[in-house]
DNA sequence: TGAACTATAAACTGATCAGTTCATTTTCGG
DNA sequence: CCGAAAATGAACTGATCAGTTTATAGTTCA
């Protein structure tokens, strides 16, 4: 029973078309910057049709954010081999996260959510649940299992997952968000990825 | 010769008054949310006067952000005793950072900068230079000295400072930014503060 | 005191934009 | 192929807001 948080979104023939068009415009223009006329044009749909699906712009954004975050998170999970050694799993996870944070979508989603959450609480909850929260829960689960196997020693698994998540943002994420730098070499990425794994293992390794 | 980035800000009798008024409104309303009329009203100044100081709204915000970030950073530095043992200095620094991130000003400044930096590059640079960048440089300097004294072992001091900075945001910052939680107990803060220090020392301690 | 500078209030411009309305056309299942 | 449901487009409402203008009033200092 997949439903949007405020249960007011009607489905129909051109639903996906609207969401896809909105995705593009939000990604390029941000939330405030994207006009509903732009979105309707980009989706090849009339404004009236758009409003027949989504009673307002916020709910449309919510749907876009929810769908894409979940898609990305699921893809990442399916591609990580959780049966590898801890260090290897952490490296894979960190690699995904760094790429996500530095991607256009990751950046813009972060920007929009950070700026709109204060005025739009529902968005914050959805974003957290289908983004950072989801990733951290899955990581915490893995850390718990690895601890049981004696490979590491983590007591507060959710917190450790949050720390790891945060470590993956060191330096580069701050720089990209502040607009100081937009392109990053593999060496720069590796420094963050390996730095996060090393630090995590130094603290929680057996 | 401290001048605003775009060198177009005129000083005058009511300069401080304008900046203070703007500070209040931006803090409560965000950048887009704050209308220039609101700001003029809050500053007890006519709109024309405001525009005689600041040619546009962005430059006004830039001035507000610059001034307040620097003020907060300087205050923090002056209150931390850098002659203490590494662990103690880190704990003090982490405490400040956690409080800052969770404060109204810290939150709102973060929100505004994140959302506006993409369209307003000058802001990103100013924010970084007088916020995270400043803190990280000072921390890096300290880490270098402590390494020389043999108390810790850090080779890339700027990167380590960035990691520490990021660790102080674990869990709580994400939650506050997403609007999941607004009040935090001392125990919650301490968990992050101590968690950051422990992890840092596990990795870089001798 | 008086000239030069600074500030004021209030109206105005011009633009943007979310959301609505409605008469018309398209689509599609039965 | 018919009729109901869905979609269209284009005009419209109502509101907000950055930035300008202007005629007037207050401040400063020589």
pLDDT tens for each residue of B118-150: 888 888 998 999 889 999 999 999 999 999 999
The residue behind tokens 């506006």 is: B116
Nucleic strand C near CB of residue A57 (< 7 Å): yes
d(Cα A26, Cα A112) in Å, to the nearest integer? 9
d(Cα A193, Cα A196) in Å, to the nearest integer? 5
Q: Between the CA of A15 and the C1' of D6, what is the distance in angstroms?
A: 12
The average pLDDT across A105-118 equals: 90
The reported pLDDT for the residue numbered A86 is 97
The reported pLDDT for the residue numbered A9 is 63
Nucleic strand D near CB of residue B60 (< 7 Å): no
Closest CA to B129 of B173, B87, B73: B73
Residue in B closest to A127 by C-alpha:
B178
Helix/strand/coil (H/E/C) assignment for every residue in chain B: CCCCCCCCCCCCCCHHHHHHHHHHHHHHHHHHHCCHHHHHHHHCCCHHHHHHHCCCHHHHHHHHHHHHHHHHHHHHHHHCCCCCCHHHHHHHHHHHHHHHHHCHHHHHHHHHHHHHCCCCHHHHHHHHHHCHHHHHHHHHHHHHHHHHCCCECCCCHHHHHHHHHHHCCCCHHHHHHCCCCCCCCHHHHHHHHHHHHHHHHHHHEC
d(Cα A153, Cα B157) in Å, to the nearest integer? 27
The average pLDDT across A26-39 equals: 94
Q: What is the pLDDT of residues A8-20, one digit of tens each?
A: 565 678 999 999 9
Confidence category of residue A73, pLDDT binned at 50, 70, 90: confident
The reported pLDDT for the residue numbered A119 is 83
CB of A107 closer than 8 Å to CB of A101:
yes
> Which position has the higher pLDDT, A22 or B119?
A22
Q: Between the CA of B46 and the C1' of D30, what is the distance in angstroms?
A: 29
Task: Tell me the chain A residues in contact with residue B162 when contact means C-beta distances shorter than 8 Å.
Answer: 170-171, 174
The reported pLDDT for the residue numbered A4 is 33
Closest CA to B168 of B77, B102, B73, B71: B102
Q: Is the pLDDT of residue B10 over 70?
A: no
Q: Which pairs count as long-range contacts for B52-55, CB under 8 Å and 24+ apart, including other chains?
A: B52/B10, B52/B12, B53/B9, B53/B10, B53/B11, B53/B12, B53/B14, B53/B15, B53/B18, B54/B9, B54/B18, B55/B8, B55/B9
What's the gap in Å between the CA of B176 and the closest CA on chain A? 9
Structure tokens that stand for B192 in this block:
């992050």
pTM for this model (two decimals): 0.90
The reported pLDDT for the residue numbered B13 is 79
The reported pLDDT for the residue numbered B69 is 87
What's the gap in Å between the CA of A69 and the closest CA on chain B? 15
Q: Is the pLDDT of residue A117 over 50?
A: yes
**Hey, are the CB atoms on A179 and B117 less than 8 Å from each other?**
yes
Closest CA to A34 of A45, A44, A21, A46: A21
**Hey, are the CB atoms on A180 and B127 less than 8 Å from each other?**
no
The reported pLDDT for the residue numbered A168 is 98
The reported pLDDT for the residue numbered A7 is 39
Q: Which residues pair with B205 in a beta bridge?
A: B152
Mean pLDDT of chain B: 91
What's the gap in Å between the CA of B16 and the closest CA on chain A? 27
Q: Which residues pair with A205 in a beta bridge?
A: A152
The reported pLDDT for the residue numbered B74 is 86
d(Cα B17, Cα B40) in Å, to the nearest integer? 10
Q: Give backbone dihedrals phi and psi of B152, rounded to 5 degrees, phi first.
A: -140, 180
The distance of Cα A30 from the centroid of its chain, to the nearest Å, equals: 16
The reported pLDDT for the residue numbered B4 is 32
Cβ partners under 8 Å of residue B78, min gap 6: none
Q: Is the pLDDT of residue B3 over 50?
A: no
d(Cα A173, Cα A101) in Å, to the nearest integer? 6
The residue behind tokens 């001034």 is: B67
The reported pLDDT for the residue numbered A37 is 97
d(Cα B79, Cα A39) in Å, to the nearest integer? 51
The average pLDDT across A26-41 equals: 94
The average pLDDT across A91-111 equals: 94
Q: Is the pLDDT of residue A2 over 90?
A: no
Structure tokens that stand for B88 in this block:
């103690």
Task: Tell me the chain B residues in contact with residue A111 when contact means C-beta distances shorter than 8 Å.
Answer: 114-115, 117-118
Distances (CA, A) of A83 to A8, A92, A143, A155: 41, 12, 12, 20
Confidence category of residue A42, pLDDT binned at 50, 70, 90: very high
The reported pLDDT for the residue numbered A15 is 93
The average pLDDT across A108-133 equals: 90
Nucleic strand C near CB of residue B17 (< 7 Å): no
Q: Is residue A94 within a helix (H) or strand (E), and if so which, with residue range? A: helix A86-102
Cβ partners under 8 Å of residue A149, min gap 6: none
The reported pLDDT for the residue numbered B152 is 98
Q: Between the CA of B56 and the C1' of D19, what is the distance in angstroms?
A: 8
CB of B170 closer than 8 Å to CB of B117:
no
Closest CA to B196 of B96, B129, B105, B108: B96
The reported pLDDT for the residue numbered A201 is 98
Which positions 22-61 on chain A have a beta carbon less than 7 angstroms from any atom of strand D?
A: 44-49, 52
Q: What is the pLDDT of residues B138-181, one digit of tens each?
A: 999 999 999 999 999 999 999 999 999 999 999 999 999 999 99
The reported pLDDT for the residue numbered B118 is 84
Q: Is the pLDDT of residue B6 over 60?
A: no
């Amino acid at each position: 029973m997949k439903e949007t948080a405020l249960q007011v979104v009607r489905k129909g023939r051109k639903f996906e078309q609207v969401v896809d068009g909105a995705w593009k415009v939000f990604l390029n223009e941000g939330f405030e910057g994207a006009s509903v006329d732009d979105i309707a044009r980009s989706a090849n749909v009339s404004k009236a049709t758009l409003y027949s699906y989504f009673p307002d712009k916020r709910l449309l954004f919510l749907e876009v954010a929810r769908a894409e975050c979940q898609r990305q998170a699921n893809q990442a999970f399916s591609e990580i081999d959780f049966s590898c050694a801890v260090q290897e799993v952490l490296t894979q996870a960190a690699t995904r996260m760094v790429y996500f944070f530095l991607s256009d979508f990751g950046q813009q989603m972060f920007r929009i959510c950070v700026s709109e959450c204060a005025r739009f609480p529902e968005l914050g909850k959805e974003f957290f649940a289908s983004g950072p929260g989801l990733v951290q829960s899955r990581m915490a689960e893995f850390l718990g299992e690895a601890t049981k196997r004696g490979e590491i020693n983590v007591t507060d698994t959710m917190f450790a997952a949050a720390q790891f998540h945060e470590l993956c943002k060191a330096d580069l994420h701050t720089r990209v968000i502040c607009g100081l730098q937009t392109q990053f070499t593999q060496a720069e990425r590796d420094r963050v990825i390996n730095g996060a794994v090393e630090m995590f293992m130094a603290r929680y390794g057996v």
